[in-house]
Chain A
Amino acid sequence: MKHLYAGYDGQAIMEDLTFDIGKGEIFVILGGSGCGKSTVLKHMIGLVPPVSGQVLIHGQDMVTARGKARTRLLQQIGVAFQNGALFGSMTLLENIMLPMTAFTDLSDDAAKTLALAKLGLVNLNRNSHRLPGELSGGMRKRAAIARAMALDPEVLFLDEPSAGLDPLTSAELDRLIRDLAQTLGITFVIVTHELESILTIADNTIMLEKETRGIIARGHPKDLKADPENEYAYRFFNRNPGKEMIS
């Protein structure tokens, strides 16, 4: 990301964001509610054009790419949206098969086998015939990750993967992300403010702040947790709701 001004309709809500994400890294974008994390993510996946700046994937700018170049870039990334965004009228298997049949010449049988392999990664191959509406929240999130991985992308973007999940399911999802990153070497870019998740999975983070309209901290979460210099980040990582309530 180079000198990115994030926002809508020419109005920047985040200014001059520059950061790099290494291959195979689990990179977390942090920040308070409404600071613009999801907007930055939308710019990164090419859903909304930024006010200005560049989003480079292997040196190719996602912002200016058009036509086939853009399609090639989009095939290198996968996105799992906050609510899964699975197609409700299709079974899980059909959801995963959709990008495969749309972008390759795979036969139905071949696409089915590949889709089952993806569902197996997230431990949902036994539920491949079910509709998304028949699944729990955690299963839907896992299915969304499987669909995002349909074309073996190099970078996987996850928007609030733990939102609305109980701590155990959330921890299970964290393990899955770690496992996928290690096994498949996928780079993960995750927008979240779930403290437990960040401390468990993140290799690198940036913290955005609404007031300063930029990055106020960056680095490994354990370093940020131990660094009292940056007051906001320190408070974020060392919050103790119990103590605050008592005081």
Chain B
Amino acid sequence: MTELHIKQTDTGLAYMFSGRIDAGGIAGIWDRACNGLAGHAGAALTLDLSGVTYFDMAGAALIVHLERIARDGNQDTVRMTGLDKSAATLVERVSQTDLAVPAPARAGGRIRRMVENQGRGLGEFWQDAKTFISFFGELCWFFFAGLLRPGRIRWKETLRVAEQAGVNALPIVALISFIVGLVMAFQSAIPMKMFGAEIYVANLIGLAMVRELGPLMTAIVLAGRSASAFAAEIGTMKINEEIDALSIMGLEPVRFLILPRVIASTLMTPLLTVFAILVGILGGAVVILSMGHPFSAYYNQVVGFVTWGDFVGGMIKCFVFGVLIAATGCIRGYQTRQGPSAVGEAATRAVVSSIILIAVFDGIFSIIYYVLDVGKIRLYK
């Protein structure tokens, strides 16, 4: 049990400690001990430790802290009594330490720091864009070099990545696409039923899945699943200096590590998208069947409405999304810094950047398709 008695004497204050003066013990007396010195400027302070049964560095830190507060408050006479030799050594040792937290160096005012931060952010964005472009250029170079000499592409690794990023993603892609198709059909069936046009839900589902939702949902799932995995894998290799080792051995990391991932992702994204479209349309079919329409009517509506132009447009998007996902994941992994949170940060940045790029490119494709009138054939039908 730690106790502190504060006594007013003729000359000043006397602090009498008893019991265990360790970290656990001083927790209960710290504030009282420090605050007790307030308003006693010029008075002598006596720290009496004769009743102490255990004393360690925590106690020494308290004694030194009190001594410093006292001296700062013009209590020039600080006396310690009842210290044994080991306690005195501890106090002596701690008294050599500056117990004030050094303030981190900060230049300039708030506005200057804000401007600096904005400038730094802009610089990083510009640097990031440059890295992305030069990296993409390097990737294209190795891709076309690989087309000329296919033996230099690591096909075994490509297949492994294709299995991980593609085949293993089938269940999650199926689940999400089915639910999207189902929910969309339910939501659109309510207003359409009011006009007796619920069979046209098939047209809506078919068109939306083939042109927009199939590619977009698949790409977002892959961004969350594969881009983060690529970033974490390559980031860990970077931290373990495996990428430096590859470079020293004369093996280009882009050809050796990144090209297989980009090829696998570019090939698997369209396949997964076709699968997502079919499952999404199936989700819509469940709703239409539940409304009493035959499956053949649903099928005829979808096939009669969706054109090959829509399908090809969707597939072109997928290829681009596939490249973006893999390249972004790999670049973010490549940019991994040192430290325990670096890989996590790289994976997060990979997902965020991929999704932003997918959204931006989806918008660009929408404008291009609008200008090229990809839906023209159907409109005149």
Give the residues in chain A near B341, CB-CB below 8 Å.
Answer: 88-89
Which B residues lie within 8 Å of A152 (CB)? 22-23, 56-58
Nearest CB of A to B241, in Å: 14
B94–chain A nearest beta-carbon distance, Å: 5
Interface string of A97-137 (1 = CB under 8 A from B): 00010011111011011101111110001101100010000
Residues of B within 8 A of A183 (CB): 89-90, 93
List CB contacts (< 8 Å) of B57-109 with chain A.
57-58, 60-62, 64-65, 86, 89-90, 93-94, 96-104
**Across the interface, do B23 and A114 meet the contact criterion of CB distance under 8 Å?**
yes
Say yes or no: is B39 at the interface (Cβ < 8 Å to chain A): no
Partner of B31 from the list A87, A88, A93, A107 (CB cut-off 8 Å) is: A107
* A168 on interface, CB distance cutoff 8 Å: no
Tell me which of B23, B94, B339 contacts A104 (CB under 8 A). Answer: B23
Please give the number of chain A residues whose Cβ is less than 8 angstroms from any Cβ of chain B in the complex.
33
Q: Indicate if B28 sits at the interface (CB-CB under 8 A).
A: yes
| A185 interface residue per 8 A CB criterion | yes
- Cross-chain contact B97 with A117 (CB below 8 angstroms): yes
- Chain B: CB-nearest residue to A128: B101
Residues of B within 8 A of A103 (CB): 23-24
* Set of chain A residues within 8 Å of B27, measured between Cβ atoms: 104-107, 110
Q: Tell me whether A126 and B93 are in contact in the complex, defined as CB-CB below 8 angstroms, given that A89-B341, A110-B26 are known contacts.
A: no
Provide the bound-state CA to CA distance between A150 and B93, in Å: 16
Q: Is B300 an interface residue (CB 8 A)?
A: no
Q: Is B151 positioned at the interface, with any CB of A under 8 Å from its CB?
A: no
Q: Which residue of B lies closest to A126 (CB)?
A: B102
Contact A112–B101 (Cβ < 8 Å): yes
B299 in contact (CB, < 8 A): no
Which listed residue (B57, B90, B93, B339) contacts A88, Cβ 8 A? B339
* A245 in contact (CB, < 8 A): no
User: Nearest Cβ in chain B — how far from A47, in angstroms?
Assistant: 19
Residue of B58, B100, B104 ringed by the most chain A CB atoms within 10 A: B58
| Among B23, B57, B97, B340, contact of A106 (Cβ-Cβ < 8 Å) | B23
Is B338 interfacial (CB-CB < 8 Å)?
Answer: yes
B101 close to A116 (CB less than 8 A): yes
Residues of chain A lying within 8 A (CB to CB) of residue B186: none
Q: Which residues of the other chain, A, contact B311 by a CB distance below 8 angstroms? A: none
Interface flags for B17-43 (1: CB within 8 Å of A; 0: not) read 000001110111011000000000000
CB distance from B344 to the nearest CB of A (A): 10
Taking CB atoms, residues of chain B closer than 8 Å to A118 are: 57
Interface centre among A87, A103, A117 (most CB of B within 10 A): A117
Residue of A nearest to B25 (CB): A104
- What would be 19 A-B contacts, judged by CB atoms less than 8 Å apart? A106-B27, A110-B26, A113-B99, A114-B23, A114-B57, A116-B98, A116-B99, A116-B101, A117-B57, A117-B60, A118-B57, A119-B97, A120-B94, A120-B96, A126-B98, A133-B339, A150-B23, A152-B56, A152-B57
Question: Which residues from chain A sit less than 8 Å from chain B, CB to CB?
Answer: 87-89, 93, 100, 103-107, 109-110, 112-114, 116-121, 125-126, 128-129, 133, 149-152, 183-185
For the complex of A and B, the 9 pairs showing the least CB-CB separation, nearest first, are A120-B97, A105-B27, A88-B340, A117-B61, A152-B56, A110-B30, A106-B27, A133-B339, A116-B99
